[in-house]
Amino acid sequence: MIQVIDHPIIRERLTHIRSVDSDTAAFRHALHDIARLMCFEVTRNIETTPTEVVTPLKKTEGHKLARPVILVPILRAGVGLMNGFAEILTEASVGYIGLYRDEETHQPHSYYCKLPAHIADSEVILIDPMLATGGSAADAADELKKAGARRIRFACLIAAPEGVAAFEERHPDIPVFTASLDEKLNEDAYIVPGLGDAGDRYFGT
Ligand code: PRP
Ligand code: URA
C-alpha cells in the first residue's frame, strides 16, 4: 500500500530540503514545489463523474470530482506540505489535527482536532511530511475514522520503513504516498538520513 513517487524534480528539490545548508526560505520553497508535484500522483485515482460542458462551438462531455476533497494536515509541519496541495485543489476544505511527539517516549499526544462536517462523504488526504515511528499518522487516521471518514489516503514527504510497517498494521486500508522511503530510525526515533525536525525547519524555530 505504499507508493514512492519518484520524479526527477522531486528528487532534486528533496536534496535542497535535506541539506543542512538550506535556510528556512529554501526549505519552504522546495517543500512547496514537491507538494504540488506529489498532489498529481496522490489524486491520480480519485473518482470523477461525467458532466456536460458547452464550449463556444458545441456541447461535449466534461468531468467533475465525484466527491468533495478534504485536506487534513497534522500540525505543525503538515501545514508546510498542505499549502501546495491546496493550490491545486483550490476547492478543497481543510481540517486540522494537532499532535506532538513526546521527546522521551516518542509517543504522540493529541492537542487539537477540527474537521469539516461532510467528512463521511469526502475524499480525505491526510498530510504530514514525516512518517517516523508512524504513531502520529496512525493516531490522526484514528481521529479521521472516528469522525466518519471512509476514504482516506496519507501523503508524506519522507517515510521510515518502521513507520510504514506500523502504520500499515493499524490502517491497512489507507494507501500511503511518499517522496522517499529512507533507511531507518535512529535511537531518538528520527528518520535517517531524513531532514531533521520538519516543524522546526519549516517554521524556523
Ligand atoms: C513530527 C512530524 C510528525 C511526527 C512524526 O511532528 O511532523 O507529525 O513528528 O513522528 P512519528 O511518526 O514518530 O509519530 P512533531 O511531533 O515533531 O511536532 P511538530 O510538527 O509540531 O514539530
Ligand atoms: N519528526 C521529524 O520532524 N523528523 C523526524 O525525523 C522524525 C520525526
Domain ranges of the chain: 2-46+68-203
Ligand nearest to the CA of 192: 2
- The predicted pLDDT at position 181 comes to 98
Task: Give pairs for 195-201: CB < 8 Å, separation 24+.
Answer: 195/17, 195/18, 195/129, 195/130, 195/157, 195/158, 196/20, 198/77, 198/80, 198/129, 198/130, 198/157, 199/76, 199/77, 201/24, 201/27
Q: Which of 101, 151, 153, 201 is catalytic?
A: 101
Examine the residue annotation and report whether 105 is marked as an active-site residue of this protein. yes
Strand partners, 127: 73, 155
Atom index in ligand 1 nearest the CA of residue 200 equals 22
Nearest protein CA to atom 4 of ligand 2, as residue: 197
- The predicted pLDDT at position 1 comes to 84
Class of domain 2-46+68-203: alpha beta
- The predicted pLDDT at position 177 comes to 98
Spacing, Cα 68 to ligand 2 middle (Å): 31
* Torsion sign over Cα 134, 140, 141, 142: positive
User: What residues of the chain score a pLDDT lower than 70?
Assistant: none
- Nearest Cα to 176, choosing from 188, 189, 165? 165
Atom index in ligand 1 nearest the CA of residue 166 equals 12
Cα separations in angstroms, 171 against 27, 68, 137: 30, 22, 10
Spacing, Cα 193 to ligand 2 middle (Å): 11
